[in-house]
Amino acid sequence: MQGNLTLSEDQAPRPKQAWRSSGSIFVILMFVGAALLFAYSLWFINAHSPVEERFNQRRRPLEADTAGYLILRERAGDYLRIALDVDTLDAVEGRRHGVADYEVEGKPVRLEVEYIPDGTPTLDQVFSGFLERANGTDTGSTLKRFPEARTPYYFAVYSGFTYTYYEFGWINGNWILRASSREAGQETLLKFANGYVY
């Protein structure tokens, strides 16, 4: 004989949901762990690779007829121009040259550009005059060249008695570009050079 068995909602068995909460916690922990590992890897790469190996080689092409105001623009990335010497940058033929200073993290960084009309410059031409720009002598200089890079470049350091001078120099078409600083450190100079589009 079968009896009618009815259960009210209060008496009906409910599935345990403990597995759901522990599964959610596990997924959250995995995401947090992955984010921490990613942040650590970025720190490790930036803290342990030399500054010259982190130079941004992906640059916009710089054409022969690019206007001077586009090259030494008022803002270069996040940085504001604080001084400008147009020199011969707006000349219509021959060599063109100009210099601008930018403020990067409260320190001046100089950007010098020069157009060479009679052929692609070499890194030796880009480096030429380094000691004069550094106001130094033959001693205390370090130079690392990367002529086979996508954007041929070098990183040079002059260690004086009271200051250290850093300089990145690179080639973009027929243009020579140099970013340098005495007051900003090498990381600040790299930040500026990597943010500059050409």
pLDDT at 32: 78
The class (CATH top level) of 67-195 is alpha beta
Rounded-to-integer distance, Cα 121 and Cα 59, Å: 17
Q: What is the pLDDT along the chain (198 residues), one digit of tens a residue?
A: 455 555 455 555 555 555 556 667 877 777 777 777 776 666 655 556 899 999 999 999 999 999 999 999 999 888 999 999 999 999 988 999 999 999 998 999 999 999 999 889 999 999 999 999 999 876 678 999 999 999 999 999 999 888 999 999 999 999 999 999 999 999 999 999 999 999
All structural domains of the chain with their residue ranges: 18-48, 67-195
pLDDT at 20: 59
Rounded-to-integer distance, Cα 187 and Cα 52, Å: 10
pLDDT at 193: 96
pLDDT at 48: 63
In which region does residue 116 sit, left (phi positive, over 0), alpha (psi from -120 to 50) or beta (all else)? beta
Residues 142 and 156 sit within 8 Å (Cβ to Cβ): yes
Strand residues in 96-181 grouped as ranges (E): 96-104, 107-115, 141-146, 153-159, 164-172, 175-181
pTM of the model: 0.74
